[in-house]
Every structure is written in structure tokens, then in C-alpha cells.
Amino acid sequence: MRFCFAHDQGMEARNVLCYRSGGAKRFQWCRRERGPVWRRLGFVDRMAVLTSGGDAPGMNAAIRAVVRVGTALGVEVVGVSMGYAGLLTGQMRVLDARTVGGILQHGGTILGTARSPEFESEEGRRKALENLVTRGVEGLIVIGGDGSLRGAHELHKLGFPVVGVPATIDNDIPGTQIAIGVDTALNTAIEAIDRIKDTASSHHRAFIVEVMGRHCGYLALMAGMAAGAEMVLLPEVETRVEAVVDELTRAYARGKLHFIVIAAEGSALKAHYLRDYLSELEDGAFEARLTVLGHVLRGGSPTAFDRILATRLGAAAVEELRQGNSDRLVTYGGSKSNSVDIMKALGDRCGVDMPLYRLANMLAK
């Protein structure tokens, strides 16, 4: 089998498997070496799947869907271990329907995940591409967050067909309403905050709970609303420490027994600083405790929503590749899964839902 990149187009288009960067609209029809039929360019017989960046509950469900849907459609699916790092070292194995049995309910990813600085260089990406082509892989599905999807786009720019599946508990991919893992992380956060509230009420104490979210406060805002926190600190909204003290004073004056602040890790007012500041005020009258939920939010069995979302998006990704599409991100909006150009999906910064933020503040009174 030969690959023919965009700049080679025109030569032997009838006897080689060709693809172009630039999306489905520009695909041509051509004949495979073996097989008598003419097929649309980009039709794949062998695709690879990898998970990359931070893990998110539901990644396994997405891998399972890719493998089972791919297999059912006659496509061989190759699993790449340890994300882009595994592409560079050629860690690939064929996955069949049985190898993805019993993983649906587990958090993490059976393929493993990693961060690969080498892949960020063009030299690294060319090495990865060579490994894919050598193994006869004709398309790649990347399951991961913002960085992983940017990496997928770079691979597409070298002429290799890629489709992205959004998976990140931060929910910082504006092109999709929700990413795989967010719902599970939110439920885990709420369970933890409910427990913290019990002890906070008993001791009449302030608690600061830090959740993940470097650039995007989605998890903090939603957890704050769903768990009934008194305040939320988001990367997108500046909050002065004096404003927290004012709220805390007023809340205690209204007879509240506790004061719960949910802080996104990326908020300008840092959770550690706030804890120390409050504890040093008024001879300890505002003593505060800090709980960092951190990686706890990444683990655990995915919720039904995440399993279904991951299954639908995994299946949609296979279909996108089979149709000869590249540089697309499969997305979720309302009750539908769809797809959009990767860079368009990542392009805008995730903005906070201000009406919801105001509602959360109103409910906290």
C-alpha cells in the first residue's frame, strides 16, 4: 500500500490509497491496490486510537466503542499505548472486540496516557507519522483534552487523517457542550462537598474546597451550584479576598452554620492563600480548613451519562474517519452528537456562564 500526500496528488491516483489534508470536500475517488472497487479517498481499513493528556472517566468507554464499532464495520483497530509518546516509540497492538471487554465501567484508560514534549516538535510528529504509515494505519482517533487535540490538528497538517474525541474533566473545549469525564468528576466533587458540609456545620467552620480547572471554572461553578456552596472562585472572574471576608461575615450574621467556598485551581485568589488569610483574621474567629480534591476527581467509575456520551462520540469518530473526514472533533450539543473543525472547537476561550454565576451567588444567601 502506498500513501500519497497532498503534494503528490495526481500521480498514480488510481492504484494507491491517497488522502489529502483539507477535509472531506476535497477527497477524490480512487482504486485500492487490492480490491476491484473504486472507493472514496479516505475510506480506511485500519485505524488507530490513543488516549492522551490528563485522563478522564469514560475514556475506556470511548475506546470500547471505537473498537467494537470499527470491528463491526470491518475496520481493524490498533490501540496505541501511552498517547503520543507511544506513537513515537511504536507501541501499538491490534484490539479486537474481546480485548475491550469489561472496561466500560472503569475509570482511567486501558491504553495508558502520557504527555510527550517530543511530539510538539515537527521532527517528533514526522517520526510518529512514519510509525503509523509503516504499520499500515490509515487514520487516527485521538481521545483527550485541549492539548491532545492541538496535537491531532498538527498531525492532520502533515496530511494524516485524524478525528478528535473530547475527554477532559475541565470542560474547557468550547466547541462541545460537555466533554467525556465532566459529569463523573462533578458527581465526585458533589459527594465530597456534601460530606465536608456535614463536618463544617458541626464545627461552625469555613471550608475551602479546591477543584481542578486551570483556565476554566466550569467544574467549580457547577459543583458550587449543585452542592449549595456559599461562594465560588473562578479563573474567569476576579474576586478580592476582602469580598470573601464580607460574604463570610454576612453569612455568619444571617445564622449560617458553615461557609463553603469552591475554588477552581486556576482562580486568581488561591485557595491556600485564602485559607491562611481567613485563619489569621480576628484571633481565629474565621478559622478555615482547606480540602484539595485534585486527582480524586479524575478517578472512579464513569456515570451513566459519561458512558453513553463516550460511546456515542467514539462511534461517531469511527464514522467520521470512514467517511474520509479529517481534522474534525466529534461534539455533543443538546441530545445530538455532531462534528466541527478541531481548531474551531478549540478556538474561543471557554467563557463562564455569567447568568449561572449570578444565580449561584443568589442561591447562596
Which residues are catalytically annotated? 170
Size of the site for ligand ADP (CB under 6 A): 17
Q: Which is nearer to ligand ADP, 139 or 151 (CB)?
A: 151
127 interacts with ligand ADP by CB under 6 A? no
213 interacts with ligand ADP by CB under 6 A? no
Q: Which is nearer to ligand ADP, 119 or 207 (CB)?
A: 119
Q: Distance (Å, rounded) from C-alpha 222 to C-alpha 143?
A: 24
Q: Distance (Å, rounded) from C-alpha 310 to C-alpha 312?
A: 6
Q: Which three cell numbers stand for residue 98?
A: 474481546
Report the residue from 147, 174, 217, 324 that binds ligand ADP according to the rule CB under 6 A: 147
Contact 146, 179 (CB under 8 A): no
Q: Which residue minimizes CB distance to ligand ADP?
A: 147
| Total Cβ atoms within 10 A of residue 230 | 23
Least separation in angstroms between residue 126's CB and ligand ADP is 12
Query: Which residues 293-352 are close enough to bind ligand ADP by CB under 6 A?
Result: none
51 interacts with ligand ADP by CB under 6 A? no
Least separation in angstroms between residue 117's CB and ligand ADP is 6
Q: Which is nearer to ligand ADP, 139 or 144 (CB)?
A: 144
Cα dist from 323 to 28, 43, 189, 308, whole Å:
12, 6, 39, 23
Q: Which is nearer to ligand ADP, 18 or 219 (CB)?
A: 219
Choose the binding region for ligand ADP from 17-25, 114-122, 178-186, 242-250 (rule: CB under 6 A): 114-122
Amino acid sitting at position 151: G
145 interacts with ligand ADP by CB under 6 A? yes
144 interacts with ligand ADP by CB under 6 A? yes
Question: What are residue 340's phi and psi, to 5 degrees?
Answer: -150, 155
Q: In what order do the strands lie in the sheet with 288-292?
A: 231-233, 259-264, 206-211, 288-292
Q: Where are the alpha helices (DSSP H) in the chain?
A: 59-72, 83-89, 122-134, 146-157, 182-203, 218-227, 241-253, 271-279, 304-322, 342-347, 354-363
Q: Distance (Å, rounded) from C-alpha 136 to C-alpha 75?
A: 12
119 interacts with ligand ADP by CB under 6 A? yes
Q: Which is nearer to ligand ADP, 151 or 224 (CB)?
A: 151
| CA angle 107–128–327, rounded 5-degree value | 70
Query: Distance from CA of residue 37 to its chain's centroid?
Result: 38
Report the residue from 51, 109, 148, 187 that binds ligand ADP according to the rule CB under 6 A: 148
Find the Cα–Cα–Cα–Cα dihedral 103, 105, 106, 111, rounded to 10°.
30
Choose the binding region for ligand ADP from 150-158, 205-213, 231-239, 270-278 (rule: CB under 6 A): 150-158
112 interacts with ligand ADP by CB under 6 A? no
Q: Which is nearer to ligand ADP, 116 or 303 (CB)?
A: 116
x-or-dash string of contact with ligand ADP, 19-48, rule CB under 6 A: ------------------------------
Q: Distance (Å, rounded) from C-alpha 78 to C-alpha 140?
A: 9
215 interacts with ligand ADP by CB under 6 A? no
Least separation in angstroms between residue 157's CB and ligand ADP is 10
Q: Count CA within 13 A, CB hemisphere, residue 219.
A: 36
116 interacts with ligand ADP by CB under 6 A? yes
Q: Which positions touch ligand ADP (CB under 6 A)? A: 52-54, 84, 115-116, 119-120, 144-148, 150-151, 154, 168
